[in-house]
Structure 1
Amino acid sequence: MEFRGAFTALSTPFTNGEIDEEAYRAFIEWQIEQGIDGLVPCGTTGEAATMNHEEQGRIISICVDQAKGRVPVVAGAGSNSTKEAIQLTKLAKDAGADAALQITPYYNKPTPGGLVEHFKAIAKEVSMPFVIYNVPGRTGLNLLPEHLKMIVDAVPEAIAVKEATGDLNQAAQVIEQCGKDFNLLSGDDFTVLPLLAVGGRGVISVISNIMPAAMSGMCKAFFEKDHEKALDLSLLMAPVNRAMFMETNPIPVKTSLKMMGLFKEAEFRLPIVPLQQENLPKLEAVLKEAKVI
């Protein structure tokens, strides 16, 4: 399975504490109409950490049903508990997801051998394509390229990595270790274009929640060797990227979706709280400058 282009790490709309299915389906449809290459429900941006298993299964099922095979769905299914990761991966597979996004176990800080055994155990119970998610800023563990190679060699299901270190040297070493055919995806919107240049296939993106045409268009332009257009789109997104991380993700992006009228509310679940009042005009100004609103 090849992953190519821009995949949106979908934000999840809530209304009165519950999943807003109508808004979620409309949002997915808009993403596809805008030319997005793939969808990722139940990731960090989707606030999966505050959902129970029933809600995660429902979110993935809605996404798969609404996508109707038009674009691939990579469902968040990871946990720092191997047992729970197996349960969540079963949910993803039963819902019809094309692949599972598997975060490296957070807080536990397993050894390289522990990482290999973690992913082997999941694959033994639920065989489906895995995108390994390396985000040391949230997990406290950096999956080094040589250790990723150990996982890839031991677990045939591990066919991609979401590399969210922002370290281009490390990203280049992933291709060096795992080969040019390995699916290297950016998990850092600031460095997508240079990551493509060192062998990346695309991105699992936050900003594509609000600028899907720009992010997918940048990837397409790069692959078509229109590097000037790719650079122009990268520069267009740069200030919006900074705004998306003025506070903890997904606070700014969900607030932006409310400003765009795509979500009825910018509602979060604790411990995530709304954007600080003093940042609202700053965010609005950036979105207006980029013609997002």
Structure 2
Amino acid sequence: MTIDGAAGQQGFRGIIPYLPTPLTRGGDIDDRATRLLIDRLIDAGVDGISPLGFTGEAQYLDDAHKGRLLGIVVDQVEGRVPVIPGVLAPSTDRAVQQCRAAEQGGADGLVAMCQTWGPVEPEQLFDHFASMAGATELPVTLYRQPALGALVDVATITRLAQLPTVRSLKDASTDTGFLLQVQCAVGDRLDLFAASAHVPLLVWEMGGVGWMAGPACVVPNTAAALFAVFGAGDRQRAWQLQRAIWPLCRFFTAHGPAVVVKAALALRGLDVGAAMAPQRRLEASDRAQLGQILADIARARAALDLDPQLL
């Protein structure tokens, strides 16, 4: 898919929410809720949709559920924005199979992940990601997620950046200095996306091209406004929005991606089901705190003459 007017190595930029996986009480993909959420996000002005990531509970879903969800997402999006699913599997061979299946299923790009269950050397991590990148012609975003155990180092990322389909990096380490190290090593060969663990404005000041994050599902209008005012050069307004969003990002990190996003969407009137077991449930006090965070964002929007009903 070509995104007209887009910048960056792969043509993807801007606000790309990580989609939760809406589930019925019986554990099936909730078709209706998925479609409603997608339309809500696109109407808010997001620049892409990324299902089957950490927020999407990919680590708990079997291949059938993954294929079903991707099919619904591609069908509902109808080419309005790129669909960039995550690929996470317990082995390299299965990850390669999932890359091919996603490409055949209509994906526009891939987010490559690796979950390790023991010590893995840099060469093994390189082979894993290189195998995924070599299995597709789609642009690949490398996802460095400490919670999955795969801490790819700068040298390995530099090698991966030489591969033709590897176009960008998203790092969830909270270490913005690491992103600068990568940037110094690879130059403009990799686009950088902010994660929820980083302050998006700081990553964008470094030349980052967007924000791929679960919280963007909860506050898509505010996230889109943040990216727009930053692009327009209004740093004061951008920082006001960034400060409003940051408590949500911290809550998201503290309590878990799917748990928080699903609870927040329920508070906003869209039931996408509960997070899959064995993930914890939010206590009543946690839900109250989350509700207060959302109310504070609404007040911040109102102070900036933005509709407080459209988070």
TM-score range, shorter chain: over 0.9
SS at match of 2:49: strand
Higher strand fraction: Structure 1 or Structure 2?
Answer: 1
The Cα of 1:196 is off from its aligned counterpart by 0.9
The Cα of 1:131 is off from its aligned counterpart by 0.7
| 1:51 corresponds to 2:61 | yes
For the aligned residue pairs, the C-alpha RMSD in angstroms reads: 1.8
Deviation per CA, 1:138-179: give whole Å up to 9, x if none: 1223222222011112x2111111111121111112221121
**Which residue, 213, 219, 233 being the options, matches 1:225?**
233
**Mapping of 1:89-238 within 5 angstroms?**
89-136=99-146, 138-153=147-162, 155-180=163-188, 182-238=190-246
| 1:3 corresponds to 2:12 | yes
**Which residue, 287, 290, 293 being the options, matches 2:297?**
290
CA distance in structure 1 between the aligned counterparts of 2:296 and 2:127, rounded to whole angstroms: 48
Gaps of 5+ in 2: 1-9, 299-307
Gaps of 5+ in 1: none
CA distance in structure 1 between the aligned counterparts of 2:258 and 2:232, rounded to whole angstroms: 31
The Cα of 1:93 is off from its aligned counterpart by 0.5
Q: Residues 279 and 88 of structure 1: is their aligned pair in 2 closer, same or farther, counting only changes over 3 Å?
A: same
Aligned-residue sequence identity (percent) comes to 28
SS at match of 1:14: coil
CA distance in structure 2 between the aligned counterparts of 1:276 and 1:49, rounded to whole angstroms: 24
Deviation per CA, 1:225-283: give whole Å up to 9, x if none: 221221111011122222323412221221010111122x5412211132123312222
Deviation per CA, 1:1-34: give whole Å up to 9, x if none: 2221110001121111211111100100010000
Query: What corresponds to 2:4 in structure 1?
Result: none
Contact 1:180 1:199 in 2 (8 A): no
Give TM-score, length-normalised by structure 2. 0.88
Q: Is 139-148 or 75-84 further displaced after alignment?
A: 139-148
Contact 1:104 1:132 in 2 (8 A): no
The residue identity in structure 1 corresponding to 2:280 is V
Deviation per CA, 1:39-94: give whole Å up to 9, x if none: 10000101111111011011112111111111111111122410110111122111
Contact 1:42 1:77 in 2 (8 A): yes
